[in-house]
Amino acid sequence: MIKVTNGGVIAPKGFKAGSVHCGLKRNIKSHDIAIIFSEQPCKVAALFTTNRIAAAPIKYSKKVVQNGVVHAIVVNSGNSNSCTGKKGYKDAETMAQLTSRHLNIKPDEVIVASTGVIGHHLPMAKIKSGISKSFARLGNQNAHSINISKAIMTTDTVPKTIAVKTKIGGKEVTIGAIAKGSGMISPKMATMFCFITTDASISLNTLRSCIKKSTDGSFNQITVDGHMSTSDMVAILANGMAHNRNITSSNKIDLALFQKALDYVTLNMAKAIVKDGEGATKFIQIEINEAKSTSDAKKVSRTIAESPLVKTAINGEDPNWGRIVSAAGYAGIPLDESKLKLSVNKIMIYKNGLPVTPFPKKLLSEMKKNEITIQLCLGKGNKSATLWTCDLSKEYVKINADYHT
Amino acid sequence: MIKVTNGGVIAPKGFKAGSVHCGLKRNIKSHDIAIIFSEQPCKVAALFTTNRIAAAPIKYSKKVVQNGVVHAIVVNSGNSNSCTGKKGYKDAETMAQLTSRHLNIKPDEVIVASTGVIGHHLPMAKIKSGISKSFARLGNQNAHSINISKAIMTTDTVPKTIAVKTKIGGKEVTIGAIAKGSGMISPKMATMFCFITTDASISLNTLRSCIKKSTDGSFNQITVDGHMSTSDMVAILANGMAHNRNITSSNKIDLALFQKALDYVTLNMAKAIVKDGEGATKFIQIEINEAKSTSDAKKVSRTIAESPLVKTAINGEDPNWGRIVSAAGYAGIPLDESKLKLSVNKIMIYKNGLPVTPFPKKLLSEMKKNEITIQLCLGKGNKSATLWTCDLSKEYVKINADYHT
């Protein structure tokens, strides 16, 4: 039984958050630096962008996460510390050091994350002051939760946060999360930021496999514009303060309960990112069924989702199945035209190589809805994949053409 | 010495063209069906879309081309005869038969090509009348050349045609071409339509290798929106009426002269397609140098060209090098950030993992130009690739959101 609750990342026992405006964003009311802190050291598992041009904090945090123990996260928005060379790496290290000194923990127990404009060195005096003030404001009240969810935003229009409670072995376990992401969304390993906290007691290996599985079905199955960022990170911190029986792969029941709650959190955050996609007016779910393999299904779903012609058709509320089917055709897997079946919002529109006649007129009103579900059966096997994306609007072009470096 | 001349596909000796409006396009002044005819049978070589969902005329013409002999092309715009099942294939066959009867040639000597909306059966009474009238109007005057270049257009805003003369073994050889394409442009084997005629005498195998080589460096190196069409075709017909010494692979000089003239024609047509890209305001040339392999260079150029974030930045006249470099980072090849060098319109902006400082202000005025050249050196080897694309504008979204099936 999963119960949604308040508090985001500070909902689980022992977690605090603190954030302030330190001068990276123009609006002085917008928080742009934050700390997440756990009273107890945490098991940690994380996934990072697979972009070969990785930002300095990604390089630093990858090392930290390898040790398996993390005590805090320091994160800023407004400057991604990406393409900043050796000085950028040193600055990420300094962020960890400053944070660790305030918290009286080790620098290699601090995850560093930065998002925002590429190619500018961090203004370290501002960062230093921001870390100090964020530390001074650490707390676990509702305001702390709201502030930190806003502090990691860039072009996001809404904060993204969730917390859920579930019972594992008779004990209440809580999982909380904040996420950011709106453009540059097309993960191949992880995407955007999602920081997840939990008071669950869980083994390191199990935590690693749980977050990998959960990410594969959520953050790795979303795309806004097919552009992979240099700064993406999904990290989960588990401090064990729920004092449940330690979750390991040998207790299938406990494991399943935790995985289910975690999946609920990641899927919710993944969908929230797509719904807030730059310029998005429609939320699109693409389900590929009857594929020979999951990999095939994923390829087809992504090719459809990344076609500007499919995305603009949906923006124009046009059931242009020819664009959907032809996108499937260049996904790079064997296809049999005569076996395809395509439905949009559960209305069959293309079957066995031909459009359904007469044209299902009801589809025209369905296309006006905010949520569009595309279902394509390949007739090749029994594997499936679902991917979430959004439409491509004039507003997307405006946001990204008018955005100046 | 290559000399540009008039006449397009009917510039080479022995070629005629005829076109009319038969009722596929709404505007009764717009020609929508055409025949290209050679007095003598031609050697033929062609490349087709690699989309697994191929239109009926593609399936039919693939068979025709295998024989190596073609006498005519029948082509219509306004309806692509794609996703039309068995009846669609039969209709393509019928188009060839009708054309062959008028011309007194064999049906399997006729290439059939169709472009336009997907998923509608051809109105065969109109097609029949159109073929008959096109035959009646066959000729080799300037008007015939202009009319046929317009007859194959769909969302194209300008007709695309060229003819060149060159001397091979003391004889004048002419190559002419027409092309269409504006959206759904992202070839992996061939793209759009380009019909090329020549009076050169050339062996079939040599013709095949020449067009393959020429396409790899032109039509396979352009992209507008990354969406591969179901109907794309590049075909070259050579009727030998220039009576030059037969071009074969054993005469390197003749071969090089022909290849050079053909490359001139295909590159000109490929660039014309990108310049006429839907909503395009900027023509973008992407040069990748110092790659380990040509394949690596092509991957990087395509990933940059297909990033909506790069395309919108250029639309907004912003030298957003972070988007270019980060796109290179997810192209799927090993990259060394510290070895990259990026220039835009020959102005270095990013070098050795860092932006050039101070920021080269001259770049701001360069970004206002209609032609933008991106040069990225990977520092990994000595291979190169060049790709041509266009920007992504609000007008692109408008064209494709407002276009209704």
The secondary structure element, H or E, covering residue B96 is helix B85-103
Contact A339, A380 (CB under 8 A): yes
Q: pLDDT for A311-356, tens place per residue? A: 999 999 999 999 999 999 989 999 998 999 999 999 999 998 899 9
- The pLDDT score that the predictor gives to residue A129 is 98
Cβ-based neighbours of A8, under 8 Å, separated by 6 or more: A145, A146, A148, A149, A161, A162, A163, A176, A177, A178
**Strand, coil or helix: what is A188?**
coil
Is B329's CB within 8 Å of A51's CB?
A: yes
Label residue A169 exposed, middle or buried (CB < 10 Å: 0-12, 13-18, 19+).
Answer: middle
Give me the total of CB pairs closer than 8 Å, taking one residue from chain A and one from chain B: 209
Report which DSSP code applies to A9: G
Tell me the CA distances in angstroms from A100 to A77, A129, B331, one per residue in order. 20, 14, 36
Separation CA B326–CA A164 (nearest Å): 35
Separation CA B328–CA B331 (nearest Å): 5
Q: Which among B119, B307, B326 has the least Cβ separation from residue A321?
A: B119
Is B228's CB within 8 Å of A329's CB?
A: yes
The pLDDT profile of chain A, 405 residues, written as one tens digit per residue, is 899 999 999 999 999 999 999 999 999 999 999 999 999 999 999 999 888 889 999 999 999 999 999 999 999 999 999 999 999 999 999 999 999 999 999 999 999 999 998 889 999 999 999 999 999 999 999 999 999 999 999 889 999 999 999 999 999 999 999 999 887 766 554 458 999 999 999 999 999 999 999 999 999 888 888 788 888 899 999 999 999 999 999 999 999 999 999 999 999 999 999 999 888 999 999 999 999 999 999 999 999 999 999 999 999 999 999 999 999 998 999 999 899 999 999 999 999 889 999 999 999 999 999 999 999 999 999 999 999 999 999 998 998 887 665
Domain A3-275: CATH superfamily is L-amino peptidase D-ALA esterase/amidase (3.60.70.12)
By residue count, chain B amounts to 405
Is B308's CB within 8 Å of A52's CB?
A: no
- Chain A residues in contact with B400 by the CB 8 A cut-off are 308-309, 312-313, 316
Share of chain B above pLDDT 90, in %: 83
Separation CA A132–CA B218 (nearest Å): 57
The secondary structure element, H or E, covering residue A168 is strand A160-168
Phi, psi for residue A216 in degrees, rounded to 5: -60, -35
Q: Which long-range contacts (CB under 8 A, 24 or more apart) does B346-351 make?
A: B346/B373, B346/B375, B349/B319, B349/B321, B350/A83, B350/A119, B350/B321, B350/B325
For residue B206, the distance in angstroms to the closest alpha carbon of chain A comes to: 29
Candidates A330, A356, A357, A393: best to mutate against B (most CBs of B within 10 A) is A330
Q: Which among A329, A338, A402 has the least Cβ separation from residue B230?
A: A329
Is A230's CB within 8 Å of B326's CB?
A: yes
Q: What amino acid occupies position A234?
A: V
Tokens representing A393 are 């609007």
Separation CA B60–CA A262 (nearest Å): 53
Q: Which among A83, A188, A392 has the least Cβ separation from residue B353?
A: A83
The residue to which tokens 């509320």 are assigned: A317
Q: How confident is the model at residue B405 (pLDDT cuts 50, 70, 90)?
A: low
Is A313's CB within 8 Å of B54's CB?
A: no
Q: Which long-range contacts (CB under 8 A, 24 or more apart) does A122-126 make?
A: A122/A76, A122/A79, A122/A81, A122/A84, A122/A88, A122/A91, A122/A95, A123/A23, A123/A24, A123/A79, A124/A91, A124/A94, A126/A22, A126/A23, A126/A24
Q: Indicate whether this complex's ipTM tops 0.85.
A: no
For residue B128, the distance in angstroms to the closest alpha carbon of chain A comes to: 23
Separation CA B299–CA B378 (nearest Å): 12
Q: Does domain B283-402 have CATH number 3.10.20.340?
A: yes
- Chain B residues in contact with A401 by the CB 8 A cut-off are 312-313, 315-316, 318, 393-394
**Alpha helical stretches, state H, A197-290:** 204-216, 252-275
The residue to which tokens 């964020």 are assigned: A134
For residue B353, the distance in angstroms to the closest alpha carbon of chain A comes to: 6
Separation CA A393–CA B155 (nearest Å): 20
- Chain B residues in contact with A398 by the CB 8 A cut-off are 394
pLDDT higher than 80, residue B403: no
Contact A393, A279 (CB under 8 A): yes
- The pLDDT score that the predictor gives to residue A189 is 43
Q: Classify residue A179 as left (phi > 0), alpha (psi -120 to 50) or beta.
A: beta
Contact B336, B330 (CB under 8 A): no
Q: What share of chain B is helix, strand, coil (3-state, %, to 5)?
A: 35, 30, 35
Q: How confident is the model at residue B189 (pLDDT cuts 50, 70, 90)?
A: very low
Separation CA B371–CA A329 (nearest Å): 32
Tell me the CA distances in angstroms from A299 to A286, A304, B181, B261, one per residue in order. 11, 9, 26, 40
**Strand, coil or helix: what is B116?**
strand
**Omega of the bond prior to A187 within 30 degrees of 0, cis?**
no
Q: Which among A82, A326, A404 has the least Cβ separation from residue B118?
A: A326
Q: What amino acid occupies position B246?
A: N
Query: Distance from CA of residue A136 to its chain's centroid?
Result: 29
Separation CA A347–CA A81 (nearest Å): 47
Separation CA B307–CA A223 (nearest Å): 12
Candidates A300, A389, A400: best to mutate against B (most CBs of B within 10 A) is A400
- The pLDDT score that the predictor gives to residue A224 is 83
- The pLDDT score that the predictor gives to residue A188 is 54
Separation CA A332–CA A180 (nearest Å): 32
- Chain A residues in contact with B393 by the CB 8 A cut-off are 397, 401
Candidates A48, A52, A186, A300: best to mutate against B (most CBs of B within 10 A) is A52
**Strand, coil or helix: what is B207?**
helix
Report which DSSP code applies to B189: S
Q: How confident is the model at residue B400 (pLDDT cuts 50, 70, 90)?
A: confident
The residue to which tokens 């928005």 are assigned: A77
- Chain B residues in contact with A307 by the CB 8 A cut-off are 225-227
Domain map of chain A by residue range?
Answer: 3-275, 283-402
Q: How many Cβ atoms from other residues are within 10 Å of residue A371's Cβ?
A: 11
The residue to which tokens 């969304």 are assigned: A185
Q: pLDDT for B39-49, tens place per residue? A: 999 999 999 98
Q: Which of B115, B166, B191, B303 is catalytic?
A: B191
Report which DSSP code applies to A228: P
Separation CA B286–CA B218 (nearest Å): 13
Separation CA A180–CA B302 (nearest Å): 28
